[in-house]
């Protein structure tokens, strides 16, 4: 139980801005870290629903509500996944070889492709949220935060790491692979079923879309980088969230 609590605290400290107690990043303390990444998504989903209901009760302008819900995931996570997305946009836009792309991922400076990619992302996300009517789409989006993080964490365990080092590698290397893999697959099934229960048409579309983005992420990462990294896992997470809001916005 102690190791579970420590793993959960480390995961929330790494992937959210919720204040938690600090623990040493030792193997025993990190065995279940990836298992708790979907739980970080569950809490984010609760915040999304709570803010949506609260702002609607106050009759806040829909444009402002959409803006708040757009920045909420970034504020909640501290931008760690968006950082990976932007770094990946720079690397992909460079048209360099695999090693140089991996070096670009580690570069703390933002290039033109990162800025362009970030602006396009925020604009599409905001515009999509602005079309949401009622709370059905909000509920599905909230569940998708858990589902997408389960896929992202699973990729760190089952896909080859392009570097064989770094934070993503450390999380995967110190985890109980089979235990985490089994639980994460359970989260994926739970999230997919939950979205379909909320609304069979929207839920099924979003569940399939997330899976297809996951497959694209696997193929693209191996083709362009020779494997995955923490930045690429963040890229997948952000891309999948954008696809979900776009699907929800475009679905009749």
Q: How confident is the model at residue 175 (pLDDT cuts 50, 70, 90)?
A: low
pLDDT at 59: 93
* Among candidate residues 1, 25, 2, 88, the one with its CA nearest the CA of residue 11: 25
Whether 29 has a pLDDT exceeding 90, the answer reads no
Render the burial of 191-210: b for 16+ CB within 10 Å, e for the rest. bbebbbebbeebbebbbebb
For residue 251, is pLDDT > 80? yes
Does residue 183 or residue 241 have the better pLDDT? 241
Q: Read off the pLDDT of residues 205-225 as tens digits, 9 standing for 90 and up.
A: 999 999 999 999 999 999 999
Mean pLDDT computed over every residue of the chain:
90
pLDDT digit string, tens, across residues 112-124: 899 999 999 999 9
Contact 141, 202 (CB under 8 A): no
What pLDDT score was predicted for residue 178?
74
Query: How many other CB atoms sit within 10 Å of the CB of residue 23?
Result: 18
Confidence tier at 161 by pLDDT (50, 70, 90): confident
> What is this structure's pTM?
0.92
Band of residue 9 on the pLDDT scale cut at 50, 70, 90: confident
Going by pLDDT thresholds of 50, 70 and 90, the confidence category of residue 10 is confident
More confident of the two residues 168 and 12: 12
Q: Determine the average pLDDT of the residues in 151-159.
A: 91
Quick one: pLDDT at residue 165?
A: 57
Q: What is the mean pLDDT of residues 175-181?
A: 72
What pLDDT sits at residue 176?
60
pLDDT at 191: 97
Work out the number of other CB atoms within 10 angstroms of the CB of residue 49: 16
> What pLDDT score was predicted for residue 169?
52
Question: Range with the lowest mean pLDDT among 70-84, 101-115, 170-184?
Answer: 170-184
Of residues 38 and 24, more confidently modeled? 38
Residue 174: pLDDT over 60:
no
pLDDT at residue number 147? 98
Query: Which ranges of 32-79 would DSSP assign to H, the alpha helix?
Result: 37-57, 62-77
Interatomic CA distance for residues 179 and 229, integer angstroms? 21
User: Span 219-238, mean pLDDT?
Assistant: 93
């Amino acid at each position: 139980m102690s190791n579970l609590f420590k793993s959960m605290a480390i995961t929330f400290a790494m992937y959210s801005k919720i204040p938690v107690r600090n623990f040493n990043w030792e193997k025993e303390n990190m065995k279940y870290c990836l298992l708790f990444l979907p739980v970080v998504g569950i809490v984010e989903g609760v915040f999304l629903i709570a803010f949506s209901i609260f702002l609607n009760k106050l009759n806040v302008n829909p444009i402002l509500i959409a803006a708040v819900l757009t920045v909420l995931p970034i504020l909640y996570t501290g931008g760690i996944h968006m950082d990976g997305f932007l770094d990946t946009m720079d690397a992909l836009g460079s048209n360099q070889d695999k090693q140089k792309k991996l070096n670009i991922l580690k570069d703390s400076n933002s290039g033109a492709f990162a800025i362009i990619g970030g602006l396009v992302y925020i604009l599409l996300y905001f515009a999509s949220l602005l079309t949401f009517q009622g709370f059905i789409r909000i509920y599905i989006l909230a569940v998708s935060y858990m589902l997408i993080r389960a896929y992202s964490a699973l990729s760190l365990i089952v896909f080859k790491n392009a570097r064989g080092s770094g934070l993503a590698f450390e999380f995967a290397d110190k985890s109980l692979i089979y235990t985490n893999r089994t639980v994460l697959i359970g989260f994926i099934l739970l999230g997919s079923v939950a979205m379909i229960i909320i609304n069979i048409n929207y839920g099924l579309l979003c569940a399939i879309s997330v899976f297809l983005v996951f497959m694209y992420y696997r193929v693209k990462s191996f083709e362009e980088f020779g494997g995955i990294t923490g930045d690429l896992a963040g890229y997948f997470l952000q891309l999948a969230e954008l696809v979900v809001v776009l699907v929800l916005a475009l679905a009749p």
